[in-house]
Structures are given as C-alpha cells and as structure tokens.
A and B are shown apart, each in its own frame.
Chain A
Amino acid sequence: MKRFECLQAIAPLINDELFVTTAGGATNEWNAVRPSDGNIQVKTLGLCSSIGLGLAIGLPKRKIFIFDGDGALWMNLGSLATIGLHQPKNLIHICWDNKQYESSGGEPTAATAGNIDFAGIARSAGIKSSRAVNSLEELKDAVNHALKNDGPHFIAANIEAGRAESPPLKYDELENKYRFIRYVEATEGVSILRLPQSASYLLK
C-alpha cells in the first residue's frame, strides 16, 4: 500500500484530532488529504514523536496523532521508551515505514534490511497497544481501535516507497504555528499566547 492511499483511507475516520507530522512527504500528503489548522509540521528529523508527547501531556483530553517515518523514528528511537514511561492515554503514534530516507533521496535506513520490528520495540518499551499493519483494512481497524480506546497506541504501517503528487504547503512554519495555536485556543477554550497589556495601561 502507498502512504497516500493510507492517508485517504483514514481521513474519513478523523474529527478534530490534532496532528504532528514528520519532516518528510507525510506532511505534504496529509495536508493535501486533510487540510486543517489542527495539523502542525515538524522541521527537526525525529522530533515529531517528542512534540506529540508534549502536546498529549498538555492536552490530556484531546486525541493527538503523530505521523512519523522510519528514518525519523530511528533518529529518536528513545522517544518510544519515553512515551512508554509516561503512558499518555490520548496518543496515537503511526510510523509510515517506507524503508528509506525518502526526503533525502532514498538512502537506506535501519528498516531497509527488513530486520527491525518497530511495533515490537514499542511494545517492549511499554506501549501495549502496538501493532504492525500491511493493508488498508488493517490500518483502518488499528486507527478505529486507537480512537475508541485508551492508549498510548503505536502503529507501524508498512508502505511502499514513493510520493504522491501534492501541492507545496500553504503555510510556513511560523504561520502554521500561529494558526495551530489559534485553533487549539478556539477548540479548547483556552488562552495560549496571552499577550501582556501595554505598560501605559497599568498606570493608575
């Protein structure tokens, strides 16, 4: 299965969940399939899983999706142990494993040889709801399960390499951040930016 088909298959299951998407093709493709201010892009390879963990701890009642890749997860494999330690119930971590550094030109990763079992590593790190999926039906079943049950959840999706045609991102990282924050403020009823009042207004 291809990543774009996977994203199209799970988009109808999604409501107002928040998405942290890895530096790579998953970001462009997800924003093409499901444009939303609830999507935040990541520029640091490997850091999406840690950012997603911070969001999940900060918003414990909101479901948080992480879209990771095999090269990115290899770079921050320790994040699985950290997620396993903290057990965020609302975290759904999907690794799109195309067995290459697609954004860097297709070089091999730790997953290329087919020896690494990301779902097994996640399970052994304490993420009990962990599974590998190889078809769209298995993927949809795993996502539905994750949406309906407490996590943390980890899904290793074995996909074919290759990108779908998708437009460039509409917003750079700063505009994306502000729109994401405003979306969280509006949907959670909280104030995040909390700009201070000008000093002159504080004069008696």
Chain B
Amino acid sequence: MGTIAGAQNILAGLKGAGIDLVASVPDINMLQLLNLLYEDKEIAHVPVGREEEGIGVCTGAHLAGRFPAMLMQNGGLLNSANGLTTTALQFGIPVVLMIYYAGDIGDNAFHMVGLVTEPVLQGLGIKYIVMRDPAKVKQEIAGALTLANSSKRPVALLLTRAVL
C-alpha cells in the first residue's frame, strides 16, 4: 500500500521538480500516492487503462507545454515498450517514468518482471535510478526531470517499498 509519509514525500518531490501532469495505472504499493493524486488540485491526474496510452498522453502533454510523468508498475513498463520506442524515444519526448519495482529484492510478487526490468531499460537506452532512500527522493525526482528535459528522452525512477 505504501505509507502516507512516503506518498507525501513523493508528491512533494513531484511538485518541487515542476511536474504538473501525471498519467497513471494503479499498483497496490502506490495506493497512498494515488489517493493523494486523486485529491490534489495542482497536478493534473490522468488515469489511463493501459500504460502505453499513458506514454501517448504524456507525449501530447509535453507538446502542449506540460511537464509530464507516467506512474505505473514495471509490468506496465513492458506494456508501454513500443510507445516508448516509436513515440517517446523516436520523437525525443521528455517524460519521467515513475515505476514501482515489483520483483525487487525483498518483494514477493512478479519476480520475472523484476528480473527483466533493468535490462529492458538498458536495452531501450533509458537512464534510471533505483530509489531506496526517502531522504533522496526529492533530489532524484528533480534530477530525473532535468535530465529528461535536457536529453529530450524518458528517464526512469524505480520506486522500491523503502521510499513508498
């Protein structure tokens, strides 16, 4: 489910970085964060049915001048691989991918997805950070958006339970 404190920390990190639109597909470990996003008035929250849709929504949002992020589980990263490749990477679209890291060390579900997550990001040429320290969350989100904008590429943050 995550903790309220963890969710508040991440939401503050998103706002501090300047992210103003979040597309999402839920995961139980991001429940608290999603609850905050549903209530928040500053960040436009755009739930989508499938993660690749979210890559499209974030692309359109960037073309409209927004700073978008896509919140999803790592299974959803796999669902969105073609949109990431032939839209986000091919057109040069900055988007922060906020990915719950299922199957990480200590996680008891989706171990196969956990196994392939980092190799898939490496194969796609998407830089990423594994977030393990709540004290670094704000700095890492801001850094991811800075790099996404300067490289005009997606940048990924793998959210572990330690920061949620």
Contacts and interface: CB of A to CB of B under 8 A. Distances in A.
8 closest A-B pairs by beta carbon, nearest first, are: A54-B60, A58-B64, A50-B56, A55-B60, A54-B57, A78-B49, A192-B65, A51-B60
A114 interface: no
Q: For this complex, into which size category does the number of interface residues on chain B fall?
A: 20 to 34
Nearest to B47: A85
Contact of B53 (A78, A177, A190, A194): A78
Q: Say whether chain B's binding surface is mostly helix, strand, loop, or mixed.
A: helix
A96 interface: no
Interface stretch (A37-45, A98-106, A136-144, A152-160): A37-45
A174 interface: yes
B161 to A, nearest CB: 29
Interface string A72-114: 0000101101100110000000000000000000000000000
Contact of A184 (B23, B50, B57, B64): B64
Interface of A: 20, 40, 42-44, 46-59, 76, 78-79, 81-82, 85-86, 173-174, 177, 180-181, 184-185, 188, 190-192, 194, 196
Contacts, number: 119
Contacts of B108: none
Interface of B: 21, 23, 44, 46-50, 52-66, 68, 82-83, 86-87, 90-93, 149-150
Given A177-B91, A180-B63, 5 more contacts: A44-B52, A50-B55, A53-B56, A57-B57, A58-B64
A78 B66 CA distance: 24
Contacts of A53: 46, 53, 56-57, 60
A58 B91 contact: no
Nearest to A192: B65
21 contacts: A43-B87, A49-B56, A50-B53, A53-B46, A53-B60, A54-B57, A54-B58, A54-B59, A54-B61, A55-B61, A57-B21, A57-B60, A58-B61, A58-B65, A58-B66, A78-B53, A81-B49, A82-B53, A82-B57, A173-B90, A185-B65
